[in-house]
Homo-oligomer: A and B are copies of this chain.
Amino acid sequence: MNVKVAIVDDNSFLISAVKEKLSFFDDISIKHTSLNGSELLTKLEDNHNLDIILMDIEMPVLNGIETTQMVKQKYPHIKIIMLTAFDNDENIFNAIKAGADGYLLKEINPKDLYDGMHETLNGGAAMNPSIALKTLKLLRNPIDINNPRDHEEISLSKREVEVLEQLSKGLSYTVIAKNLILSPSTVRKHIENIYKKLQVHSKIEAVQKAKNHNII
């Protein structure tokens, strides 16, 4: 079975990189590539005999989200996998809303990309585990996309996120310490650091802010 693919990315080097990755597999044939959405749309008008599109998000003229929406509107049979460097909640959420069939990151290795494409063609969705987790969180805690909240990047350590998670359940210092097999002192120190990073001064505020930023 031959899989007809198109690649859309404003960075021609990255297009080459993807082509390279897929060159290992002889059932994949790259039909064409485009540097932005409108270029793709033009090509599709000519010939939309495609199985799957690998789509970047950040592009000039017509970005990946808008393009996905339009392609899905006109050619619903074409699967679209977002292939991008960014995995922030907004992008993921919007891509899914636009109708994307998968969401992968550019650093993906050839086999996973290949597998993901086939999974998508077989009626599944391709996404790596970290993206999957984000979709779960989005389902649990639908963020208000229309609220372009503080885009200040908050970077908590893995351990801090764990502690925050426990905090959000209303557990006390001592219980959290037991759960994570830590000294209560350590838990308190972690929380102290979390407060500083989030610039808050209480459990509730921390949990609230963390939820708003989809950290937990």
Q: B-contacting residues of A (Cβ < 8 Å)?
A: 48-49, 72-77, 93, 96-97, 99-102, 116, 119-120, 122-130, 132-133, 135-136, 138-140, 142, 158, 162, 165-172, 179-181, 200, 202-205, 207-208
Across the interface, which residues of B come within 8 angstroms of A136, CB to CB?
Answer: 96, 100-101, 125, 135
CB–CB B200/A170 < 8 A: yes
Using CB atoms, name the residue of chain B closest to A162: B77
Using CB atoms, name the residue of chain B closest to A73: B169
CB–CB A133/B139 < 8 A: no
Across the interface, which residues of B come within 8 angstroms of A48, CB to CB?
Answer: 179
19 A–B contacts from the bound complex (CB under 8 Å): A49-B181, A76-B162, A76-B165, A76-B171, A76-B179, A96-B136, A97-B139, A97-B140, A99-B140, A116-B129, A120-B129, A122-B129, A124-B133, A132-B135, A135-B136, A168-B204, A170-B208, A203-B204, A204-B204
CB–CB A125/B133 < 8 A: yes
Q: A168-B204, A204-B207 are in contact. Are A126 and B129 (CB under 8 A)?
A: yes
Across the interface, which residues of B come within 8 angstroms of A202, CB to CB?
Answer: 170, 172
Question: CA–CA, A178 to B102, complex, Å?
Answer: 25
CB–CB B166/A77 < 8 A: yes
- A124: contacting residue among B119, B130, B170, CB under 8 A: B130
Q: A76-B165, A123-B130, A179-B48 are in contact. Are A96 and B139 (CB under 8 A)?
A: yes
CB–CB B125/A129 < 8 A: yes
Question: CA–CA, A207 to B132, complex, Å?
Answer: 27
Using CB atoms, name the residue of chain B closest to A135: B135
How far apart are A116's CB and chain B's nearest CB, in angstroms?
8
Across the interface, which residues of B come within 8 angstroms of A207, CB to CB?
Answer: 204
Across the interface, which residues of B come within 8 angstroms of A167, CB to CB?
Answer: 204
How far apart are A173's CB and chain B's nearest CB, in angstroms?
12
